[in-house]
Structure 1
Amino acid sequence: MLPGALQAARALAATRLLEAADLADTLEVLHRDPVTNAFVATRVEAVGLDPWRLGGEMWGWFDQDGRLESLCYAGANLVPINANPQAVRAFAERARRQGRRCSSIVGPAGPTAQLWALLERSWGPAREVRGHQPLMAATEPATEVAPDPLVRRVRRDELDLLMPACVAMFTEEVGISPLAGDGGLLYQARVGELVGTGRSFARISEQGEVLFKAEIGAVAEGACQIQGVWVAPAHRGKRLSESGMAAVLEIALREVAPVVSLYVNDYNLPARAAYHRVGFREVGAFMSVLF
C-alpha cells in the first residue's frame, strides 16, 4: 500500500458513524464552543443522532484512547466540528469514498479550508468559495443604536407576505433560488417552521411590504444564531438593518440565549459596519464552499 493510501486508511479507521449511545459525548464536543457550533448543536439537541431525523449523518473521530474529539455533520451541508488535522483527513477520506451529497461545505475557516483542499480534486470545481466569513457575537443589547419598535414577530397568517422577501434574500446570498428543484416546498416548510416557533422577525409596512427581516435560525444551549438578514432594496441606506438588528438582538438576549451570533461575507462591508454599530464583535471566521 502506498504511504498516502496507508495514511488515509489509518485516519479512516479512527472514524465511524455516531449512534444514539454517543449522544452525550457528541453534545460535550458541541458545547465546547457553543457559538461556533450553534448551527449543528441546535439540530442534535432537538432530535439526537438518528440520521433520518437529523437530516444527515454525524461522523465521529476518536483519539488513540478512544475518546470522541471531533465531529463532522454530513447532510445538506458538510460541517467539520472541533476538527484537528488528523480528523480532517479522516473526514475527507470518508466523504471522498461516499461521494458528494451536500450542496456546500461550511464551518470554521481553518478546518474547512483543509477539508476542501483534500476534496477539491474529486469534488471540484466549486461554484463559489467564500474563504473568510467573519463570525460575530454579542452578549449585550445595542447601546449606540435604538431598536426599531416596529420590528416584531411574524404571524402565521403573514407567511405569504414574508416568503417573497425570504426568497429574495436566499437568492442574493447563495446565488441560486430556493425554489429550484422541488419548487420551494422544503424552503417554505423551513420558513413556516421559523414563523411557527416565533423565531422570525420583520418590519412590515401598513401596505404589507416587508421592509426588514431576520430569523433566529439556530438555538442551542448557550448561544443562538441570527440568519437571513435582509432589507428591501428600495429601503437600503436608511439604516433599517441597524435598528432592526438591534431589536432582534434585544429579544434574542432576553428570551433565547446569553450569546447571539451571526456570520457575514467579508466583502459585505456595509453589513459588517452595521453589525459592529449594533454591538457585534468578531470572534472567529467561517468558510463556505458552494456547489
Structure 2
Amino acid sequence: MVVPEQPVVAGVDGSEGSVKAAYRAAAEASRRNTGLQLLIVNDDPARADHAEQVVRKIAAKCRVQTPDVVITAEVATGHPVEELVRRSAQAQLVVLGARGHGGFTDALLGGVSTGVATHAVCPVVVVREDIPITVGPVVVGVDESPCSLQALRFAYAEAARLHADLVVLQVWHEEGLLSAPLAPPDRDRVQHEVEQALEKQTAPLRAQYPQVATREVVQRGHPVSVLTDSARDARLLVVGHRGSGGFDGLFLGSVAAGVLHHATCPVAVVRSADGTG
C-alpha cells in the first residue's frame, strides 16, 4: 500500500471522543484527496496488543465511512504530545478529540490536545465528543499578526472545501486592563478604522475564493467570549495561536487555549508559517 505524502493524522485512544475525531479526520482526508494516519501513542508494553486491536478497529470503522481514503493504523511509543507534534511536521492536518477517558496514558485528556494544538507544525483541529452535526458557517478570529493571516487563509480553504459560508471576526478592546473605556465618539472612530482594515485584509482572499460567501464582523469585547459566542452554531472555529494587533497580544496562547476550553464547536488552531507568530 502506497501511503500519500502529507496525510491527515488523527490521534486516537479508543474513547468515543477520539473515534468521532477519527471520523472527522477521515472526512478531511477525503476532501483533501490525501491519506489518513491513525495513531495511538502507548507507553505501556503490556498494552501493546490491545492498542493494536483498538487502532485497527477504529481504522475499519473509518474505511466504511470513507472508502476512498487510504488509511493506515499505527501504535507508537513515547509521550503523546511529543510524538504527535513530531508527526505534525509531515502532516497536512492533525485531528484530535478534546477528551479521552482512561485511554493510553490519558492521551487526549485535555492537556495533550491543547499541547499539540499550540505546538504542532501544521494546523490542528480539536473535536468535542458531544458536538451536534451542523450546517453553520466557518468562523475565523483575526487580528493583524502573521498567524492571523495564516488562520484566515486556512479558514477560506476550509470554507471552500465544506461549501460553507465564512464569518471573519475581529475583536478589539481598549489597550490594557486598567484603561478607561473610550468615549462614544472615540469608540465609533476605532470601530470604523478596524472595519476598514479588516475589509482590506480580506479583499485578496475574497477574490481568490469567490465561491465563499463572506461576512465581516468587528466587535468590541474580550476575544475568547466573543469568539465562542459567535461560533455557537459554527461548523468550525479557526484561531491563530500567536499574535498581537487587535487582540493586544492575547493570542499568545491564552486566546487559543481559552477557545479550546470553552467553544462548543470544533476548533482549528493555526500557527504562522515560521512558527513565531
TM-score (structure 1 length as normaliser): 0.31
Higher strand share: 1
TM-score (structure 2 length as normaliser): 0.32
Higher relative contact order (CA 8 A, sep 6+): 1
